[in-house]
Amino acid sequence: MNFKQNQKINQVTENTLVVGIDIAKRTHYASFVDDRGRLLQKAFSVQQSQEGFQYLYQRILSSMNELGKTEVIVGIEPTGHYWLNLAYFLDDVGIPLVMTNPMHVKRSKELDDNLPTKNDRKDSVVIARLVKDGRFSYPRLLKGTEAELRAGATFRANLTEELGAIKNKMIRWLDRYFPEYPKVFPSFGKTALAALECTPLPCDLIEKQPEEVLDLYRKIEGLKSPQRPKVVQLIEEASQSIGITEGHQMARLEIAAYVQRFRELETDIEDLSRQLTERIQTSVEYEVLTSVPGLGDATIVDLLSEIGSFSHYQHPRQLIKLAGLTLRENSSGQHKGQKRISKRGRRRLRALLFRVMMPMVRHNPAFKLLHEYYTTRAQNPLRKKQSIVVLCGKLLKILHTISTKHVVFDAERMMKDIPCLEEAR
């Protein structure tokens, strides 16, 4: 839920026990304060284990009983992924959890002792006092399909990153031992991989006939008809190669390992993408999202893995803030600073929106016309990148509307709803 600042402050009353926890990998530290920030319990350690979590839970219950508190709120500063285990445990036992901004913790730690000292015990108290002032946000713990999509999309991104690294290693290997190879095969297709697997070095091709090499490639699983012209060209390039001629035994082992890992990653990514696509096709939002030109299955998977369901958000502004597309300004007195996006949000969501919007402004008539209007209007024309940022926010508003109202995207209706587009037409 989107609570305003006063509503957050009102949640902490004289009957509320405020718990601040500084998160670490092995040992957390927790402190208790009241609604006025008075320290009720000095920082104590909590182990990252079932016993440690149960110990924290019992300490909370006993302190509430001793102090006459009827409510409790736990605040944490998220550190990597280490907070997730505790978060799900607190959710299971029914204790509300909130999160403080690490930047707020860093900048307010000197308020108590006027010292830049930083340690886990001190940070837990700082976190608790930020919570009692309403300086917190509400995490949304992913469950069911949303959790599966987030885990799957993250795993796919990691595999894709590893695939890119393997490609770079293969290119580096070719630069040393067979620099003419990219002239024949600019990308790693089936025939290209077969060549690296069967005849990786120029000496493997010299004095061989094309049919002889083609017979070798046909033995590779999944390659029935290798490209004969490419093979002929590869033999010609091998005859005048300047590749290194030393260390070939280890070089063969190296490229064989790269090719094997490349094939494994391609298979894993393909299988994972298929499973993720099957899962999102059961979503109630899938049909309306596919009605937007430019949104394919892979994009929808990444989109829903980052934001979950659109029904979680009461207003599109929450999505724009989540993507870090809200504007920030640095002005003082007569100085008017330039406005820039905050970038305080999910980096992958912001990158995804930019990747989607770039082809949209070229091929989607509605967004193309709107982009042209923003960049050519008489008053306050935007630069192309500024226009893309504005259109990313516009796309989020459209996706939120069609998903929550369960209507398909209609470009004509979109243009009618925007006066400037009607005038431009």
Same-domain status, 116 and 189: no
Same-domain status, 394 and 290: yes
CA distances from residue 88 to 83, 144, 195, 351 in whole angstroms, order as listed: 9, 13, 50, 29
Residues 30 and 83: their CA atoms lie apart, in Å, by: 13
Residues 182 and 189: their CA atoms lie apart, in Å, by: 12
Tens digit of each residue's pLDDT (9 = 90 or more) over 60-97? 999 999 999 999 999 999 888 999 999 999 999 999 99
So what's the pLDDT on residue 421? Answer: 57
Indicate the average pLDDT of the chain: 89
Output Rg (C-alpha) for the chain, integer angstroms.
Answer: 29
So what's the pLDDT on residue 259? Answer: 96
16 pLDDT tier (thresholds 50, 70, 90): very high
So what's the pLDDT on residue 1? Answer: 42
pLDDT over 90 (residue 378) = no
| pLDDT cut 70: percent of the chain above it | 94
Across-strand partners of 179?
A: none
Same-domain status, 60 and 105: yes
Same-domain status, 267 and 386: no
So what's the pLDDT on residue 423? Answer: 57
For position 175, which CATH number holds?
Answer: 1.10.287.4070
Ordered DSSP codes for 248-281 = HHHHHHHHHHHHHHHHHHHHHHHHHHHHHHHHHT
Our CA angle for 256, 258, 244, nearest 5°, is 70
Residues 313 and 140: their CA atoms lie apart, in Å, by: 11
Same-domain status, 295 and 415: yes
Q: Is residue 336 part of a domain?
A: no
In this prediction, residues 319-334 reach a mean pLDDT of 78
The domain total for the chain is 3
So what's the pLDDT on residue 377? Answer: 86
The model's pTM is: 0.83
Same-domain status, 128 and 45: yes
Domain final residue, candidates 106, 132, 158: 132
Ordered DSSP codes for 176-214 = HH-TTHHHH-SS--HHHHHHHHH--SGGGTTT--HHHHH
So what's the pLDDT on residue 337? Answer: 62
Same-domain status, 268 and 177: yes
7 contacts: CB under 8 Å, gap ≥ 6: none
pLDDT over 90 (residue 6) = no
For position 28, which CATH number holds?
Answer: 3.30.420.140
Distance of CA 187 to the CA centre of its chain: 27
Same-domain status, 195 and 244: yes
Same-domain status, 292 and 414: yes
In this prediction, residues 334-340 reach a mean pLDDT of 67
46-55, 61-70, 110-119: least confidently modelled range: 110-119
Tens digit of each residue's pLDDT (9 = 90 or more) over 259-303? 999 999 999 999 999 999 999 998 888 989 999 888 889 999 999
Q: What is the domain extent for residue 91?
A: 5-132
Tens digit of each residue's pLDDT (9 = 90 or more) over 141-166? 999 889 999 999 999 999 999 999 99
Same-domain status, 290 and 409: yes
Contact status, residue 29 vs residue 55, Cβ threshold 8 Å: no
Q: Is residue 142 part of a domain?
A: no
